[in-house]
Amino acid sequence: MNRTKLFAAILYTKFIEPKSHDEDMRRREFLLNVLLLGSITLLSFLNGSVIYDKLTLGKLYVGISPFVFLGVLLTFILLYALSRLGLFIYSSYILIVIYFFSISYAAYHWGVDLPTALLSFAMLIAISSVLINTRFGLRITLVISLLIITLGSLESASVIHPIKEWKAQSLKYDDGVEYAIVLLIIMVVSWLSNRETERSLERARRSERALMAEKELLELKVEERTGQLRDLQMKRVTELHDLAEMGKSAGGFFHDLMNPLTGLVLAVEKLNDLPENKKALSSHLDQALSASRRMEKFIQAIRRRGEGRAETLSLPDELNQAVQLLEYKARKSGVKMKITIAEDIRREPAQAHWDFYKIVYNLIAYALDHATGTLSIILNYHGENVVFELTYPGAPLPELESAEQSGEESLGLLIAKNLLEKAGGALKVRRHGAVENTLEASFPQY
């Protein structure tokens, strides 16, 4: 079986396979090669039959001359050779011209209503449309129609006198074979044309499916890359915002550092003045330790502000550090911060799954820029979520969608919203009356 397939593949490559590179040209060249090979095979058998009849009948033979038949066979072989040399377009036109004049001569000699001539004209139209194009097939049809009308008119006017004896004869076996051969050629041409067209359509469909798959993959890649760029952009904006907030709060940092540092210096100076009084010494040591602890906590808060997400977190400690770092800003704005932390809120360190510190810091900083009076800060549970609320009187809060267009003023709010959504939480804005606002951040359990 494999040898048969190999032999067929070799024959196809050697005798039929098109040499053109264009898909449409390859289809037309393939059809021409099949037609020419089929015609050469058929003519070879017929030529052998004519030569056999000539040799066996001798002078009694009255059919077509073997030399004429041989000339026709050699003509088709020449056309096939032209096609294999890459000149299949010229070969196609020559083949159509030969068919046209041969059939036209038969119509003129035996009458335009000769069945074989009419079927052959139909075959010629099919071959022209397939080998050249549909427009050329239409032109051939018009020429054939004019020829049939002209010959019919001349015959009816007795200008030409075709041989009509065939009408008086009954249908012979060879007549039926002629009709069958012509119909078979029409069928083969149509089948080959449809076969190549279906193959082209299938290739087009495969290409379309591949393009659609590539398009979907490209859209996914673009969406993924856009998300990565958006995340990277937000990360850089967050870092710049943090640096800007650090710069804005630098004066407050130094002011708050100076108070415990001054207390520490004074306590140490008094230690030198009262070395003999142990009670006073103990009191000043306590003051010095308290001041140093305050400095330590404050420095930790500053360091925490720069580091971002911690590996573990205690919600009250995170909130208190953020509030401590913003105390100077609150005093400068004339806003009093009131903190309420639920007793059952998680206080021991746990694995962190979101940037709690950055979120609450940015929300409190945003609220301090717009609040007047008292800023109420509540940390509590609501169902399975941790809820952080900021309520304050002040200018009406913007819609979160419109906040995206408001620029630097709402940048901290947008950063908090983005970090919260990435962690699976949600940020809500509520207004109470004309001047009271609430920012509510809902965190998933950790």
User: What's the domain range around 360?
Assistant: 311-446
Q: What is the pLDDT of residue 139?
A: 93
Given 190, 216, 242, which residue is the final one in a domain? 216
Q: Which residues have CB under 8 Å from 69's CB, separation 6+? A: 43, 46, 47, 50
Establish if 245 belongs to a structural domain: no
Residue 229 lies in a domain: no
Residues 173 and 35 in one domain: yes
Would you say residue 279 lies in a domain? no
The predicted-structure confidence for 284-302, as pLDDT tens digits, reads as follows 556 655 656 565 555 555 5
With respect to residue 409, please indicate whether it lies within any of the assigned structural domains. yes
**Same structural domain for residues 53 and 160?**
yes
265, part of any domain:
no
Let me know whether 185 and 43 are in one domain: yes
Percent of the chain with pLDDT over 90: 10
Same domain, 212 and 327: no
- Three-class SS state of 336: strand
Among residues 383, 380, 369, 379, the alpha carbon closest in space to that of 437 is found at: 369
Residue 166 lies in a domain: yes
Which pLDDT score, from 0 to 100, does residue 72 have?
A: 85
pTM: 0.49
> Of 162, 186, 216, which marks where a domain is finished?
216
Output the six-digit token pair for 31: 């059809």
How many distinct structural domains can be found in the chain?
Answer: 2
pLDDT attached to residue 295: 59
Same domain, 343 and 210: no
Q: Are 443 and 387 in contact (CB under 8 A)?
A: yes
Q: Is 377 helix (H, G, I), strand (E, B) or coil?
A: strand
Phi first, then psi: give them for residue 158, nearest 5 degrees.
60, 25
Secondary structure class of 109 (helix, strand, coil): helix
- Report which of 410, 446, 411, 403 is spatially closest to residue 425, judged by C-alpha positions: 446
- Please check whether residue 46 lies inside any domain of the structure: yes
pLDDT for 431: 79
pLDDT digits (tens, 9 = 90+) for 4-30: 777 777 777 787 788 888 877 888 888
Q: What is the pLDDT of residue 422?
A: 82
Question: Does residue 344 contact residue 365 with C-beta atoms inside 8 Å?
Answer: no
| Rounded distance between C-alpha atoms, residue 132 and residue 92, angstroms | 7
Q: Which of 200, 216, 232 is the last residue of a domain?
A: 216
Can you list the residues of the chain whose pLDDT is less than 70? 1, 62-63, 173-174, 234, 236-312, 347-354, 397-409, 433-434, 445-446
Checking phi first, is residue 374 left (phi over 0); if not, alpha (psi -120 to 50) or beta? beta
